[in-house]
Amino acid sequence: MKPHLFLASLSILPAFGGEILVPETTGGNWQWSISAGPSYRHVGSLEIHSGSRSSAFPLPSLVGSDVLSVPPIGDLTDSSDRTYDDGYVRQDAGTAADGSTWNWGYDHPGQIQGDQLVFSATGARSIRSDLRTAPAFGPSRRDSLRGIAPHLQLDGVSPREIGGFRLGLSAGFDFTQVDQSTTFSNFAVTQTRDDYRIDFTDAYDLNGVIPPLAPYAGSYGGPGPLIHNLPSHRISTETLINSESALVTNRVSSAIDIDVFSLTLGPTLSRRQGPFDYSVQAGVILNVYHWQARQGEQLNATTSASTATLARWNESDSGTKFRPGVFAQGDMAYRISEDVSIGAYLRLDLATEFRAQAGPTVYRVAPTGLSTGLMLRYQLP
């Protein structure tokens, strides 16, 4: 739009008191100036909704499996050939008929305890368990995206005036680079295996039978003293003898880099008081965001013997988003000569949010924030 067409659209403006203000022409031509300087820009806020891959990874057992090893001593309900650490009680030809046997033997005199003959045997049990901490999502955080940006601005002041302010146009350009990263661990599994020794003690009633002196070994064919093939009672005791453990954890690093290109366009109202120039402006801001996001994750296992990496994931993505919005800005400049002035500005930008993603981690950018900066202004001839 040409400047004179734009100003024609502002030829009639409502005043606060209800009167109609008509722009006056002060005479002269348009005055153009160009400004440049550094700015500190708050691009907006960033929400990071973290995710990870480790929870879906099928973990191997690093500590072995459940094991039960029972010695060959049979059960307490059926006749059986029983072998102990210090003897045996087996079946003979008549066991099936009356439950007794002469096919037995023992090793030590101490096994005779009153009217009972006691045998011992050893078994083993390993019990494996997992303690898991694996939430569905990683941590969430909210940060501000801030950076130093070069600022360029072109201003035109028309000869038309309204309420003591001269009408004009302004265009600005900013380029900002911002980034954010996070590191977290949201997965942990402790695998444990406990090893137990099982001590069995079986007691057989002698019922008045006097055992031969130890060591004694009866046979299938006999003959010999008879005892019952079934123990009168059994005691089993478990003792923890060893434990093994492994810890599986993840480590996740996520980052996003954003290049922001912004162009502002809008009308201005400016006023000169002594060596100071003041202006306010509002209009449209056109934002282009080029983003690159990446995430690396590593799943490690630590045992008493070593540390190993079970899995790795490296994921990345990029894209470009266009988000128009609105802005409002105020400038103040001090003239150090007829053509050169130094100044400062404050600007508020508003635009709609956009989303980026790398792997399971999602980034939400809300591009609303304040910018401020210094300017060196040169008035064009």
Supply the CATH number for residue 285's domain.
2.40.160.20
pLDDT given at position 141: 82
Q: Do 352 and 231 fall into the same domain?
A: no
pLDDT given at position 134: 66
Residue-range definition of the domain harbouring residue 55:
3-59+136-189+247-379
What are 150-177's pLDDT values in tens digits? Answer: 999 999 999 999 988 999 999 999 999 9
d(CA 209, CA 233): 18
Say what the pTM is: 0.74
Listed residues 224, 246, 268: the one ending a domain: 246
Average pLDDT, the chain: 91
pLDDT band at 15 (very low <50, low <70, confident <90, very high): very low
Closest CA to 350 of 331, 371, 330, 367: 367
Q: Do 347 and 334 fall into the same domain?
A: yes
pLDDT at 10 over 50: no
Q: Do 199 and 263 fall into the same domain?
A: no
What are 248-260's pLDDT values in tens digits? Answer: 999 999 999 999 9
Task: Name the residue type at position 135.
Answer: P
Separation in Å, CA 122 to CA 66, 72, 86, 197: 18, 10, 11, 7
Q: Do 39 and 104 fall into the same domain?
A: no
